[in-house]
Every structure is written in C-alpha cells, then in structure tokens.
C-alpha cells in the first residue's frame, strides 16, 4: 500500500482569501461595517430577499442533466423527479448551443456528448414527454440559441394544454459572458443583444413568470476569475443588458423582476458566503440608484448557484463528495434560492445515475438533517463575515467604476480587457497550485502513488449521433416545406428590420424549421462573431 504524501513544508504562510483579501488573525466589533440594522427582506437585502427565507420555503434543488438523445435525457429527468428534485435543469450538447443540426459537418463527434441534442420541435416533445410543464420549473443552460429553445419549449407546453403565461423557469441567455469565458457564441454583440432584449420584452408580456435571462458569473469563475471579478464582470454584463432594454423603451420595473443570476460556489468557504451577501447589496443599489427602479421586487437579487466544476479532481475522485458538500453548505449559508450540486465523477465524464443521486442527497442532508435552514442568515453579525462582505462589495464597485471609465463592458470585451483580467487571475491561481501555496488534496499534497478503486463512468454510444442525424432528416422530409420556407423568410425580414423576433421564431418552430435553420437565418443577417486575439 502506498503512503500518501503530505503538503510541501517551509512555505511562507499567507493568510488571505482566494481573491487576495488579507485575513486577520482575529476580528472584533471595530471590524464591523457601520450599517447592520436592516433585517432579511429589507433593502439592501444583504441578509436575504425574503423575510423568512428557508423557514418559508427551501431553496429549489436542481440537478443539471442532459446527454445523448432526448429519449435518454427524458428517462433521467423522470428518475431525478422521482428522487426529490424540485426543478429540472437542461444541459444541451455543443451543436445545439452553437446552432448546428446533428447532420451538420461541424456537429460530427459532438452530438449528445456534453448535453442533450435538440434540433426540432419533435426533440423537445420527447425531452419532456410525460412531464407536466405547468407544474415543474425548468432551467435551460442555453445562450446563443436561447430564443429558439424557448420557442420550442413554449410550443410543447401549449400542445400539452399548459398556459404559456403560467410557465416557470429560466433560459440562461447570457451571451456576453460567452465572449469572455465560455466561447459558445454565434453572433456579434449587437445582434446577440438584440435577441436578448427581444426576449426581455416578449417574456414580460407573454411569460411573466419566466426569467428570460440568468446572468452568469459561474462560467466567468470557471474560466479563472476570483470572487471579486466574478461579481464585477457579472454585474457589468447585467448593466449592459438593462441599458439595452431601457434604450428599447422598456420601463425598468417592467422587466427587472424577471432578471435572475447564476453564481459559482468555490472552495473558500467564508468568502463564498460573504460573496452572496455582497451580491444582493450591490444589485439592490444598482437597480435603485443607477436605474431608478421603484418596485422593491426590482431591487431583489434572485440567483441560482452551482458548486465549482473547476475544483473537481480526477485524482482521488471520492474527495469530490466532500468538496461539493462544503461548497453546497456555503451556498445555503449565503442564501441561495436554487442550487445544483456537482457529481463526484464529473472531472472524468458525465455523471452516472448513482453519482447524480448522491449529489442530490447532499442537498437533502443539508436541508433536512443539519438544521442550518432554521434561521435566516445565521452568520450575520460575525465580525469576519461582515467585514469580508464589506470588502468584497468595495472591491466590486472599484471594478465597476473602472469598466464605466473604459466605456462599458461591451467595449471592454471587444478590446480584450475583461479577458485579460480573467487570464491574469487564472495564471496567478494556477501558479499558486503549482508552487504548493494553494493546496489541492490529492493533486499537490496527500497524493497516492497506487491507483484507487475504479469508478463507473458514463459513456455516450456513437450510435446516438447516427440516430440524431436520421431523426432530423426524417423531420425535414415530413414537414410542409412551403410553410417552413415562408416562416424562415419572414424571420429573415424581421431580423433585417426592427420587429421583436420572438414571435417570428415561434412561428418558424411551429412551421417545422430546425434549430440550425433558424440560426443560419440569423447568421446571414447578423454575421458571426470573431474572437478577440490581440494578446
């Protein structure tokens, strides 16, 4: 049996958070910010957006899932619902995210690999077969093609007798973060923001319970940012979206209550708790003071969180269970309203059914066994937590001021400034791991030379791609091509003009247009984004 190796010795002791905030040996009352009088449910909502928080209702427990075909994913959704999941969270494959049908040459080898393949209205029907969309909340991690997937979803709900106005859920629809953190973009910023704003306007009228965007710091953090940058760049993107909607003529209070956010839960336990508290405070001030929102609901930060995929390790993967549990606990103590817990095997493959169940059970143990949900904001008043909350907020405001000075987030993305900040942070973090200053158990300390027990991994059979190609070809063969062509021409004309495009996208979906055909229509009008390469 091999002996585990311990951490490197004689390294300088640096006491700071992962964002570089100095941590003192002890804190006292003098470290508290001056204003601590407000209660949960009161502006600026540092302590929570609801007066009773989890005493009234637990956070929504979601499990991000989707792989292979719509049939395979549908079976996983039914299984997760039977195990106590409160809301569905859909992962789409790369071709779907990038607007390519399964039979496109660029889809080869990627169909169904990192999510489910959805190219037609029929695929969406199968994905949610036997699930009452009027009763379940659905989150879809989709950005560049969000308008098409939401149109498919609305059509399927209507076919099954649901009122579109009653549907609850979220489409991520955050295109700006794709340019700096994730890379799954299609159109240049102008066309992408047009589609996003169209969805704001359309949902405010047609789907008032639906969140037309989930402004995502998650992927910014996964790309290497620290906690301060995650907040700052997320809120800078949010400012751009709100500005775009206001320029369209929408009143802030008409759509602000439907905006939602998506944050990462990293490993620095107390910093993550403070991050969520600071985030609520920053958003409340932005909406009230910068945008003049009058409705208190517009000031409230609503967010989903997910444990950090980038912290999962292929080495000693069972350690990931502990990482996820602690990250989930910090999210709950920070007041999340929705949570996904990663599975232990995700550094190696898509999660198996067993590992997904264990990840869900992690949330359920926190919710029902620990009693941490019995009181609201249980760490309020902690000298350390309150000081850290204040420090994160102050540093975030400095970033936002700098972004404003440089011309706003779109300009900062176009000239590569945001990408540079994230890359510098990622480099610093990785250097700390390589040098042993940042400990990762099983990677740079407590390593094991002998291989541990093998764990079962999910594998996507290549036959699923063949089936996807055949299904989309069969779909095109049976539709009324004249109606499809007419709907796509109308969509093209609308994109060249100023019409809200959501209704036209839905018309195209009803007429049998595929996701790839709708995306190609927009490509011809908006063009394709070229990544900044000036470093």
pLDDT tens for residues 452-499? 667 888 888 888 889 999 999 999 999 999 999 999 999 999 999 999
- Segment 22-32 mean pLDDT: 82
Query: 3-class SS at 16?
Result: strand
- How many other C-beta atoms lie within 10 A of the C-beta of residue 448? 14
Tokens of 52: 């009773």
pLDDT digits (tens, 9 = 90+) for 263-319: 999 999 999 999 999 999 999 999 999 999 999 999 999 999 999 999 999 999 999
Question: Global pTM?
Answer: 0.91
Q: How many residues belong to the chain?
A: 535
In the chain, CATH 3.20.20.240 covers: 29-34+48-58+124-434
Q: Residue 192 and residue 407: Cα distance in Å, rounded? A: 19
Q: Is 247 in contact with 288 (CB distance < 8 Å)?
A: no
Peptide bond before residue 44 is cis, with ω within 30 degrees of 0: yes
Q: What is the CATH number of domain 29-34+48-58+124-434?
A: 3.20.20.240
So what's the pLDDT on residue 1? Answer: 45
- Write the DSSP string, 134-158: TTSEEEEE--TTHHHHHHHHHHHHH
Torsion angle in degrees (nearest 10) through CA of 191, 300, 325, 11: 80
Q: What is the mean pLDDT of the chain?
A: 93
Place of tokens 């049976």: 478
Between 80-84, 199-203, 408-412, 529-533, the lowest mean confidence (pLDDT) is in: 529-533
Q: Are 507 and 487 in contact, with CB atoms under 8 Å apart?
A: yes
- Taking alpha carbons only, the member of 526, 498, 461, 521 closest to residue 99 is 521
Question: CA 274 to CA 338: how far, in whole Å?
Answer: 17
**What is the C-alpha separation between 491 and 501, in angstroms, rounded?**
7
């Amino acid at each position: 049996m091999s002996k585990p190796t311990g951490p490197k010795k004689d390294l300088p002791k640096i006491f700071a958070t992962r964002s570089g905030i100095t941590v003192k040996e002890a804190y006292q009352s003098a470290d508290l910010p001056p204003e601590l009088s407000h209660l949960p449910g009161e502006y600026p909502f540092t302590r929570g957006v609801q007066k009773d928080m989890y005493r009234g209702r637990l956070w929504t427990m979601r499990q991000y899932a989707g792989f292979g075909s719509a049939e395979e994913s549908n079976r996983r959704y039914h299984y997760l619902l039977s195990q106590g999941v409160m809301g569905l969270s859909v992962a789409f494959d790369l071709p779907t995210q990038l607007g390519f049908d399964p039979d496109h040459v660029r889809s080869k080898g990627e169909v169904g690999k990192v999510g489910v393949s959805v190219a037609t209205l029929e695929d969406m029907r199968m994905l949610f077969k036997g699930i009452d969309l009027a009763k379940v909340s659905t989150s879809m991690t989709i950005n560049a093609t969000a308008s098409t997937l939401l149109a498919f979803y609305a059509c399927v709900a209507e076919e099954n007798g649901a009122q579109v106005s009653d549907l609850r859920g979220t489409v991520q629809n955050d295109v700006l973060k794709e340019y700096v953190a994730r890379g799954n973009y299609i159109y240049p910023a102008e066309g992408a923001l047009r589609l996003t704003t169209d969805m704001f306007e359309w949902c405010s009228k047609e789907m008032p319970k639906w969140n037309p965007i989930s402004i995502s710091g998650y992927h910014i953090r996964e790309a290497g940012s620290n906690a301060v940058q995650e907040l700052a760049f997320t809120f800078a993107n949010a400012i751009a979206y709100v500005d775009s909607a206001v320029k369209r003529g929408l009143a802030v209070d008409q759509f602000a209550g439907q905006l939602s956010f998506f944050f990462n839960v990293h490993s620095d336990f107390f910093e993550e708790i403070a991050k969520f508290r600071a985030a609520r405070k920053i958003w409340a001030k932005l909406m009230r003071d910068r945008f003049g929102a009058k409705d208190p609901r517009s000031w409230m930060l609503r967010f989903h969180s997910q444990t950090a995929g980038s912290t999962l390790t292929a080495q000693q993967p069972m350690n990931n269970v502990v990482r996820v549990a602690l990250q989930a606990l910090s999210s709950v103590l920070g007041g999340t309203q929705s949570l996904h817990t990663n599975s232990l095997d995700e550094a190696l493959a898509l999660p198996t059914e067993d590992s997904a169940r264990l990840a869900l059970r992690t949330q359920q143990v926190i919710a029902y066994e620990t009693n941490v949900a019995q009181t609201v904001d249980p760490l309020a008043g902690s000298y350390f937590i309150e000081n850290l909350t204040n420090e994160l907020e102050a540093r975030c405001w400095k970033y936002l001021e700098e972004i404003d000075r440089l011309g706003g987030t779109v300009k900062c993305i176009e000239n590569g400034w945001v990408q540079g900040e994230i890359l510098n942070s990622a480099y610093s973090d990785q250097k700390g791991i390589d040098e042993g200053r940042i400990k990762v158990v099983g990677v740079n300390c407590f390593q094991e030379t002998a291989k541990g027990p093998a764990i079962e991994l999910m594998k996507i059979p290549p036959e699923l791609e063949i089936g996807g190609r055949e299904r989309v070809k069969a779909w095109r063969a049976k539709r009324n091509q004249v109606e499809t062509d007419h709907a796509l021409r109308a969509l093209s004309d609308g994109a060249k003009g100023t019409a809200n495009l959501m209704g036209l996208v839905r018309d195209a979906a009803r007429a049998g247009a595929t996701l790839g055909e709708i995306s190609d229509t927009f490509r011809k009008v908006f063009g394709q984004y070229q990544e900044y390469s000036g470093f």
